[in-house]
Structure 1
Amino acid sequence: MWPPAPGSLKRPAYRSLAQTVIDAVSAGELSPGTKLPPHRTLAYELGVSVQTVSRAYEELARLGVVSGEVGRGSFVRAASGDPRTPWHRIDGSEHVIDLSMLSPSLSKTHARRFAATLTEIAGDMPDPVAFSFRPTATLQTHIRHAVRWLAHCGVDAEPDRVIPTNGNTSAMTVALMAAAAPGDLVVTEEMGHHTLKALTGSLGMRLMGLAVDGEGLRPDALERACRIGPVKAVFLMPEGLGPLALRMGEERRRAIAAVCRRFDVTIIESDAWGPLQADRAPPLASFAPERTFYLTGLTKCCLPGLRIGWLVAPERMATGARTRHLVTSWMATALMAEIASRWLADGTASELVRWQRAAMGARNHVARQILGPHGISTTPNGLHVWLPLRAPWQEDAFVALARHHGVAVAGGSAFAIDETTRHRGVRICLGPSDSKSLERGLQIVARLAISEPELAHLAY
């Protein structure tokens, strides 16, 4: 694999060279600390321009694969334990339509509402927001507002089961820590949350991906896993949050809850988008409240900067969950909770959800018009769509070529729980860009999807 043979690079050559280095590092052929050849030397050996090698090294440095040292050269960096991020790191100097980052659509209204609330708090701030170290005293009023919002999401929860958190990631971590112990088996859909694999690994838990169909996790796959060995918890995103955009119907949710009851499995239900989706089925927590950790928040459906979420714990596990939250985060940030409380009370949160629902409905309609013939999976008001790739397209090549033509999308491999069962495709996020940029980006992706990989660069 390394060094590549002359003439083996595909167009664009710099992308192909960069991918070859990445593959060689992954395969162990290039170990951390290895010095890469000088630009001119490698260009001569491969029969390419010095500019091609320079661009490849720049791309590798941007991705964190190599580090450059002035006067010494470029070196392979040590591998980190970080999960592979599905989004691209895009700075302001790049003219890229970013469809890789999962984010809601935003407007000037969002900024104005946020600024107005901060101004309001500055003139009328409750003392506990600034002075209290005690979660119960600081967040007691906030929890009452949260309970009403949770009911809007379909979850009836007593206040002592609700734990305010700094967003859904914090809630997800606490739920896993409370539901399972090191060595326990956690199962999920075969294409799942991109941080779940790293998180369970850090907590010493085993993770297994299970087969899915058009409604998500198959009950028979869950039952089979439970019969083979003890399953401690199942992590699910039933409202289409997963990369494949699969939504569970009510009967499927009942069937999953029944299997979990039969085998004493704890359910962790991520509903991070909250009430964003129209025509929602009742949450899993309504079918098996005694064993379900339910988590949601305002980050994805209202405002990314409003890092506030809530974890609803089963009654018998609420004390343990609260303890684990205390030792990991102590409490949700009081200022974020105060902003959320005001938005929940005065209707701002509901208004922004309605706005978001309409915006994403329109964007999904555009995506279906442009990408529909390519077999995409989509939901009525979701933040992304899934585009399966036909042979002979390779995922990394498609992502790289899309980026080369100014569009960033997320490769499906970042979401694969088990590489042997991965779905080849890309996740395309609909929220971050303005409408015109989104349409232009989708059209570029559509043209790529019908092109042959060897000829795709000629389509532009």
Structure 2
Amino acid sequence: MPTEKYRHWVTELQQGKKRPAYLLIADLIESDIDRGVLQTRDRLPALRDLADLLSLNYTTVTRAYKEASNRGLIDSHPGSGSFIKGKTHTLPLRNGSDIEMTMNSPPEIEDAALIQQVRDDMNRTLASQDLPSLLRYQDFGGSITDKEAGALFLHALFPRMEPQRILVCPGIHSALLALLSLHCSKSNSLCVGSLVYPGLKAIAAQLGIQLLSVDSDQQGPRLRALETLCKAEKIHTLYVNPTLQNPSTASMSRARREGIADLALRYNLTLIEDDAYGLVPEIKHPPIATYAPELTYYINGFSKCFGAGCRTAYLYAPTKLATQRVAGALRALSVMSSPITTSLATRWIQNGTVSKVTQAQRQQSRALQQLAKTVLHPLKYQYHGDGFHLWLPLPKSFSANPSDVAVYLRNHGISAVSSAAFCTDNNPPDAIRLCLGGAVNQKELQQRLILLRDTLQDSGSLMLM
């Protein structure tokens, strides 16, 4: 395999000695894709060929290709090699402002009276508070009023929260960034299921943290496989997304939650419970944190049950000391939550607006899911009736890989994301995630679902890709 186009990597690696070589190689692949040096379907050098060229060991190059695969840049298949996937082309933002539908957003509020109530709350918040105070630096983690509002917000899931152990954060993503920087820096690893939220993969890649994939089933990490890793002392921190998991839509059973909590308690395993979708279903699932409160960092927020633009989240730490440590990490990374946004969230919680919005969105999601069921009935897929995304395995007749299918569909206005974006074990299933929420209306969604159905039923429709 010719390696001439990769010779500049030698110089780049020599100049970037402070960053691990495997991360630098993944960075170089991404950079060369951006510059057009590497094109979709280009075949990368064999592992040993690249190791010889860069004077690195085989293991380092193997790890680099795995990192590039985790970032969704390449596909690797034993026996056939590694190939460039390129970056998925996103649809333009609608009217320059709306979030395109590959982002898993809840349905937008349609009820005019409810929209007016939200707007009135915003006006009352600014009118009733001292505006200069909202423009100042604040103590990190929110006031006691904001923390009590967070406890009220999560009461249906976690009825006995201590407000002193709650931190108000500028979004779930920032909370995850702080927790990974705090708990995974020494071990340089984080245990995860075989499919995870792509944002977590991005955080881990940015921090140089290796994601250790544990054997998983429909509900997430298998208990026996997880215990094997615990006994071998190979893991110290586990990330879980137990309710309406992104992308599979699955929720852990009570038994699986209790089992994970039991393992955490027996092996002193730190748990990061990302329960972003916990308030979405009408029938609630008890958080793992209620079974292992001494070891679990519980996170929830407004992004999936109100609107992603309200960057307010709540992190509940195991102890007051742990709360202080996480507060220090969050302060270093994000300074503070916006006092204006936090004040709005507190008002919406206290006067019941957030509950009304969540209930309205749940009804909209049910209508969207029914529409999808009507149109996609010939296809088998996974979903939750109260959720707003689908996990759709590709028909066995398809020869195209999920990444190519996702690009094809998205170029035709269908919001699909390849399984590779979520995969952590370098073995992505032949499936795509489809979002039903966001800014699209039912007529537009129906048209896209019909096109999706027709495309997936016609195994030859992708031959022209």
TM-score normalised to structure 1 length:
0.77
Note closer, same or farther for the CA distance 1:216–1:368 as it changes in structure 2 (3 Å cut): farther
Note closer, same or farther for the CA distance 1:371–1:226 as it changes in structure 2 (3 Å cut): farther
- Identify the match of residue 452 of structure 2 among 434, 442, 445: 445
- Identify the match of residue 339 of structure 2 among 310, 334, 340: 334
Q: 2:157 maps to which residue?
A: 153
- Identify the match of residue 425 of structure 2 among 415, 418, 421: 418
The answer to whether the 8 A contact 2:138-2:339 is kept is no
| Structure 2, gaps ≥5 residues long | 3-35, 47-72, 74-85
1-side partners of 2:295 and 2:373: how far apart?
Answer: 37
Listed one character per residue, the Cα deviations across residues 171-227 of structure 1 (whole Å, up to 9, x for unaligned) are 111222333324343111111110222312332322112222222221112112223
SS in structure 2 of the partner of residue 145 of structure 1: helix
Q: 2:109 maps to which residue?
A: 107
Listed one character per residue, the Cα deviations across residues 323-357 of structure 1 (whole Å, up to 9, x for unaligned) are 11121122211000000011001110000011111
| Structure 1, gaps ≥5 residues long | 3-17, 29-64, 66-83
Matches within 5 A, 1:299-318: 299-315=303-319, 316-318=321-323
Matches within 5 A, 1:122-133: 122-126=126-130, 129-133=133-137
Note closer, same or farther for the CA distance 1:224–1:367 as it changes in structure 2 (3 Å cut): farther
Q: 2:9 maps to which residue?
A: none
How many residue pairs align between the two structures?
A: 389
TM-score normalised to structure 2 length:
0.76
The answer to whether the 8 A contact 1:87-1:409 is kept is no
2-side partners of 1:129 and 1:383: how far apart?
Answer: 38
1-side partners of 2:142 and 2:203: how far apart?
Answer: 29
* Residue 255 of structure 1, CA deviation: 0.7
Q: 2:70 maps to which residue?
A: none
2-side partners of 1:404 and 1:19: how far apart?
Answer: 23
2-side partners of 1:307 and 1:438: how far apart?
Answer: 27
| 1:399 corresponds to 2:399 | no
1-side partners of 2:340 and 2:120: how far apart?
Answer: 14
Note closer, same or farther for the CA distance 1:200–1:403 as it changes in structure 2 (3 Å cut): closer
Q: 1:284 maps to which residue?
A: 288
Note closer, same or farther for the CA distance 1:309–1:175 as it changes in structure 2 (3 Å cut): same
Q: 2:178 maps to which residue?
A: 174
Matches within 5 A, 1:142-221: 142-221=146-225
The answer to whether the 8 A contact 1:182-1:204 is kept is no
The answer to whether the 8 A contact 1:200-1:207 is kept is yes
Note closer, same or farther for the CA distance 1:107–1:456 as it changes in structure 2 (3 Å cut): farther
Q: 2:77 maps to which residue?
A: none
2-side partners of 1:93 and 1:368: how far apart?
Answer: 29
Note closer, same or farther for the CA distance 1:338–1:123 as it changes in structure 2 (3 Å cut): same
Listed one character per residue, the Cα deviations across residues 220-255 of structure 1 (whole Å, up to 9, x for unaligned) are 121122233431111111101321112101111001
- Identify the match of residue 321 of structure 1 among 313, 326, 331: 326
Listed one character per residue, the Cα deviations across residues 137-162 of structure 1 (whole Å, up to 9, x for unaligned) are 96221111111112123252211110
| 1:90 corresponds to 2:92 | yes
Note closer, same or farther for the CA distance 1:270–1:99 as it changes in structure 2 (3 Å cut): same
The answer to whether the 8 A contact 1:185-1:230 is kept is no
1-side partners of 2:134 and 2:126: how far apart?
Answer: 11
Q: Which amino acid aligns with 1:406?
A: G
Q: Which amino acid aligns with 2:123?
A: T
SS in structure 2 of the partner of residue 296 of structure 1: strand
Note closer, same or farther for the CA distance 1:351–1:454 as it changes in structure 2 (3 Å cut): closer
SS in structure 2 of the partner of residue 22 of structure 1: coil
The answer to whether the 8 A contact 2:258-2:288 is kept is yes
Matches within 5 A, 1:371-386: 371-386=376-391
The answer to whether the 8 A contact 1:87-1:100 is kept is no
Q: 1:53 maps to which residue?
A: none
| 1:269 corresponds to 2:287 | no
Note closer, same or farther for the CA distance 1:97–1:200 as it changes in structure 2 (3 Å cut): closer
SS in structure 2 of the partner of residue 257 of structure 1: helix
Q: Which amino acid aligns with 2:329?
A: R
The answer to whether the 8 A contact 1:102-1:383 is kept is yes
| 1:239 corresponds to 2:243 | yes
The answer to whether the 8 A contact 2:278-2:284 is kept is no
Note closer, same or farther for the CA distance 1:288–1:332 as it changes in structure 2 (3 Å cut): same
- Percent identity over the alignment? 24
> Which deviates more, 345-354 or 219-228?
219-228
The answer to whether the 8 A contact 1:448-1:456 is kept is no
The answer to whether the 8 A contact 2:274-2:300 is kept is yes
Q: Which amino acid aligns with 1:171?
A: A
Q: 1:298 maps to which residue?
A: 302
The answer to whether the 8 A contact 1:183-1:204 is kept is no
- Identify the match of residue 22 of structure 1 among 40, 45, 48: 40
Note closer, same or farther for the CA distance 1:423–1:119 as it changes in structure 2 (3 Å cut): same
Q: Which amino acid aligns with 2:401?
A: Q
The answer to whether the 8 A contact 2:169-2:315 is kept is yes
Note closer, same or farther for the CA distance 1:403–1:281 as it changes in structure 2 (3 Å cut): closer
The answer to whether the 8 A contact 1:98-1:407 is kept is no
Give the superposed CA RMSD. Answer: 3.1
Listed one character per residue, the Cα deviations across residues 404-453 of structure 1 (whole Å, up to 9, x for unaligned) are 4332311111111132x211211000102111111221111111111113
